[in-house]
Structures are given as structure tokens and as C-alpha cells.
A and B are shown apart, each in its own frame.
Chain A
Amino acid sequence: MSVEAREARQPWILLSPALGAVTLLLFVPLLFILVYSFWLRTATGADLAGFYLDNWQEALSDPFYRDILLGTLRIAAITTLVCALMGYPAAYFIARSRGNKAILLLLLMLPFWISYIIRTMSWINILGVSGGLNTFLIAVGLVDEPIQMLYNQTTVILGLVHFLLPFMVLNIYVSLEGIDTNLEDAANSLGATRWQSFLQVTLPLSLPGLAAGGLLCFVLGAGTYITPLVLGGPRDAMFANLVFEAIITQLNWPLGSALSLMLLVVLGALVLIYNRYLGMAQLMKGLG
């Protein structure tokens, strides 16, 4: 074998464990799901193998699924916006702080040490009728009776922000860290105010990080089902809850497969659009 051929093979040999894992753990299961989506669920709950388009017809034509999908995208968008508004100042503060950066980053990572479900359920103890906030409000005399704060769309968004904010902060932080502070100094020396140098220099340069954080928050937020299950009311279900119900409650794996692929396609399209205009490199930096 020639040297060139051997060199050409080397990257593939090195990549083969990762490619093998991705194939076995992602593509093969996805293939199973795709095949399942064309099967049918019989009245007894058993699956009827074959090639039927019924699930896809139902998923694509029924306004019920469309409405819940749009509602899910709306909640994910609001969550992403709130994360961006809250996350940018925090990331900016960490990036520009001197000396205690490591501690601040550690604090940012701390929530990841606790299970997401437990973090979500902690809001019940804070916002519940006999939770910390109501107890405080009654104790200081601001209200006479507990306020019903839980089990609505606001608490779902709150829970999602709690879950996703660190992802946003980290991505913006990585982006801000990569900006040469001399550029701001140069802008200031040319007569720009601090606010102007932020708006015209720092913010545009950090937009890739903001976009990467936004994409992560949006995709993770749109795919969640725990938060609406724990903190939502009867009408606050998201699209992933439909997948959960189809597969777990109704034992309709074929329809659940079609629905999960539908969500995957929508979110995958967003990732492709992001990749087309901003590239995945920024996202990798944030995740790394």
C-alpha cells in the first residue's frame, strides 16, 4: 500500500471508534424509529409491521399536533429570549471580572451537579401555596392568603430558564473571552462612549456566541417534557409530552415514532439554518 493511501486511511482509523459509536447509538436507533413510524398499532396494543402512511398523515394533517408544535416553539422562543436577556449581563460580568473568574465559572456549573428533575421540582417548594415565597409574603404582610403561582405556562418557562440559562451564559462567555479588549479601548480612544463601544464593537463580535447559546436553549427547550409535566397545568403540554403519551400511555409506538421524527426534522432544520449562516464551530466552542 502506498504512503499516500496509508495517510488517507489514518484519519478514518482514528475516527472509527467515534463513528462506530454515533452509528450504533444514533443512526441505528433513528433508523428503527423511522421504520416504526410506518407501522400501525392494533386495537390490542400490538404493532402491525408494514409500510403504512397513516401515522404520518395524522401527524402532518391533524391541527392538534400542529397547534401543540407551534405552542412548543413559542415557549422555546420565549425561554431563549429570557435566557439571552438574563445570560448576557452575567456572561459579560464573568468575562470582564478579574481574579475570581474561576469561582464564578464554578458557580455557573454548580446546578449541573444536581439532577434536572430535582432542580425542576425545587420550584414547588419555592412557589407552592405553602412554599417559601408565599410564606414570606404572608409573614411580611404583603398578602393575606397564599397566591397560586404554580402549574401554569409562566412556571413552565421559569423552569426552562432555570434549566437552560447556564448553557446560554457559557456560550456567550466563550465568545466574549475571544474578543480582544484592545478593540474596545481603541473605540474609546476614538471618542466612543463605553456604551457605544459595547454596542458597536463588543456586541456584534459576541453575536456568534449569543446565537450558539440561543440555538442550544431553543433546541433543548423545545424537546423537553419533564418541565411541563412537573410545573405545568392541564393545558401546558409541549410536543415532547405528546411523544411521551403516544409511546408510554397509549402504547402507540408507531405514532410516537412519527411524532418524534417530526420534532427532530423541525429542530434539525433550525440547526441546519444556523450552520448555514453561522457554522457549527462556535457551538462546539461553547460546548467545549
Chain B
Amino acid sequence: MTQKMDNTTRYERLRERYMNGDIDRRGFLGLIGAAGLAYGVQTPFAKYAHAAADQVRFDGWGGVVSEAFRQYAFDPYTKKTGITVVDGTFGGGDEYLSRVKASQPGEYNIAHLSGVFDYARYHGLGLSSELNEDNIPNLQFVIPKLVDVFRGVSGGALSCVPYDYGTTGLAYNRKYISDERMQEMGANILLDESLKGKIAGWSDWRTRMWYASLQTDQDPNGATDTDACWDAIRKHRDLSLKYWGSGAELMSLLAEEEIYVTEGWSGRIYALQEQGHDIGYMDPPNGFGWQECLFVIKGSPMEPCEELLNFMLAPETSIAVAEGQSYPPALDPTKVDLGSKIPNLPAFDASGTLDGLTFADPTYWNGHEAEWSKMFGRVQKGY
């Protein structure tokens, strides 16, 4: 009878040689140690090699967004293909980039990134892949403007597919702040001293700088008087109860009435409204528009990733996810019937041109990233 040559058999044979005196103690322990070392060294990499064929890791923003992705995209995709989608969450693109930077190639696969500036940063750090668009036929349904801007960054190729868009507008509790007052004050409501202690803001330097530009009547994609912007940020800080760090915290602060006004993500505010909270939402002139994409990180198993992207861009999946996460999909409304709910979502653009939204200029924002993120870290703490 032949015996299967597995690790246990190898160990038993080695032990037998040792017990018979064919090998000395030092040699025996040395071989055991070498085997352990080899196993330890290969294990982390083997994990990714094994994972490559049967699972894809997806990281997103958590909360209602993750729930929508899980329910309407990942579970049906796994059912259809047998490929498991492992989903993780992050609080922001910066935090996630740090994790990716510390990871092994292939550990992280697809990320739900926000903004072209994130795409440009990832591309600049050599983390972009090159998608085979033939494997993603549903890309044809996407608003061309959203695709072209990514092509411009990565020299014509794509490392992502656009997936949804939204705005970071002003969210306010209608019990304490009227719609009329919001229309009158716009972004300056965040600097209203009568609301001291009931104001909040996202602890994101871009959002702070964007709104400070609006508060100082400057172009958010080209502020020239940055000192005035920092002064506005300091004033906002002194009036604020807290900087929030995640969508869940934003929703909690508003729902619990800890705060009355903040900037907020359109989809999250819509979710609050759907839960019955009397929270208003408005995009001030030149409000912060953004598009999100599904970015495939270099070193990922491309075919399963492309298959997942194509599945997610299928109109029925994309619409279901959009309704679940309350952000309009990247699908072109002139090519795809988006149903009845999506046209009512905040930030929805029926024309498919997105001309009504102001997006962040990646060159401008990434050019100031090092300086402003550091400066905001100081201003945030009272400097």
C-alpha cells in the first residue's frame, strides 16, 4: 500500500531517522526549524495565491452603502459565479491608501474610491492596474463624461469604472433652522455664531478648504487668498462641537440632535430623511460634487475583478445598489431607464452631462495635498 506523502508523513520519517540514530539532534531540529521557516514565509503569500481564483476583496464606506453593495451586488454575484466577495470598510480615502501602502500586492483588490483626486493619487503612487474593457461591456451604459476624466489621468487606460456620484452639501435640522434661512445664508450658516456648539463638520481637509473657499467668496478650485480660508476654517472650528469622521457618526450626530447643521454626504442625509428625521439638505452654489468609482488595485486578480465590475454595472444591479445607498448611479439616464426613485435622489442629474455639479480639480487639490492636509491637522487642534 502506498502512503500519501504529506507533511505529517515527512515529519514521521524524519523523526524515525532521528530515533534510529541516522541523524543527530542538531540536524533534526535544524530541519524542523527550516521546515517551519519555509512554511511561515510562504503562508502569507500562499493565502493570496489561493484567494486569487475564488475570492475578491472589496473595500468601501461601510454603513448603508456597504449594506446596499452586499445585498444587491455581492451576494447575487457570488450566487452566480461562486466567487466570494470579502468586503471591508474604511472611513476615508486617506486612511485606506495608508492600509494599501502597507499591504502585500493582491491583498486589497477593489476600492470604492471617491473623487478623481483619489484616482490620481493612487495612479501617481503606482497602484493602478489596466482594465480590459472588453470584459466590461456594461461600461457602455456609463455617462461618458465620468469615464473620460479618469482616462485623462491614466493616459487613456482605465483602472476603475465610475459607479455613482453625489454631493457634500449642507445638512440641517429643520426644527431649528428654516429652509429660508439656509437659502439666505448658504455656506455661511456654518459660521453663524448663534449656532455655536451646534455646528459640526467633516474632519477632511479638502471639504474644510472647499467650504472655506465658498465662505470667503472664492472659487473652490482656485482659491487665491488661502489665509482668509484658514481664518474661516478656524472660525468654524471654534463654533463646532465636533469634527465627524464617518458617515455613521454624521448620521448619529444629526439624528440625536447633538448638532443642528453640518456639511453632509447627500446619500446619507437622504437615508436619514427616509428614516423619518426632519433633516433638510441643500447644495450651495458651487457645492462640492464628487463621483465615486470602483478602482482595481495593482496586483489584483484581473478577470474576477472585471467580471465583478461588469456585474455591478449591469443596469439592474446598479439601479438596485443606487436605490439602496441613495446615491445616483453613474449610468447615463439618456441610455438607461433609471426607474422612479433615482430621479428623486439628491444631486441627480437627468441630462447625463453633470453640468450642474462642480467637481474637484485633481491637479489643484493634489498639488496642495501635502501642505494643506498638514496645515489642517494643526488648525484643527487650535493652531
Q: Which residues of A contact B (CB under 8 A)?
A: 41, 43-46, 64, 68, 124, 128-130, 148, 150-151, 229, 233-235, 237, 242, 245-253
Contact = CB atoms under 8 A, between A and B. Distances in A.
Contact of B257 (A129, A233, A251): A129
B382 interface: yes
B370 interface: yes
B96 to A, nearest CB: 9
A124 B255 CA distance: 13
Nearest to A233: B242
Interface centre among A229, A234, A248 (most CB of B within 10 A): A234
Contacts of A148: 197, 241
B377 A250 contact: yes
A76 B165 CA distance: 44
Interface in B343-383: 369-370, 373-374, 377-378, 380-383
B277 interface: no
Nearest to A125: B256
Contact of B241 (A233, A250, A252): A233
Interface residues of B, number: 31
Contacts of B141: none
Chain B at the A interface: SS class: helix
Contacts of A45: 97, 121, 124-125, 369-370
Interface centre among B98, B241, B245 (most CB of A within 10 A): B98
B95 interface: yes
Contacts of A130: 256-257
Contact of B258 (A128, A245, A246, A251): A128
A43 B373 CA distance: 12
Given A68-B381, A248-B98, A251-B97, A46 B125 contact: yes
B125 A44 contact: yes
19 contacts: A45-B97, A45-B370, A68-B381, A129-B257, A130-B256, A130-B257, A229-B245, A233-B240, A233-B241, A234-B237, A234-B243, A234-B380, A234-B381, A234-B382, A235-B381, A245-B377, A249-B95, A249-B205, A249-B377
A50 B97 CA distance: 23
Q: A-B pairs with the 5 shortest C-beta distances? A: A235-B382, A151-B242, A44-B124, A250-B373, A237-B381
Contact of B98 (A46, A233, A251): A251
Contacts of B101: 251, 253
Chain A at the B interface: SS class: loop
Nearest to B377: A245
B16 interface: no
A283 to B, nearest CB: 32
B192 interface: no
B231 interface: no
B95 A242 contact: no
Interface centre among A64, A124, A245 (most CB of B within 10 A): A245
A128 B252 CA distance: 11
B197 A43 contact: no
B374 A252 contact: yes
Nearest to A130: B256
B140 to A, nearest CB: 33
Nearest to A242: B377
B332 to A, nearest CB: 33
Given A45-B125, A251-B97, A64 B242 contact: no
Nearest to B366: A44
Contacts of A242: 377
B94 interface: yes
Contacts of A246: 377
B92 to A, nearest CB: 8
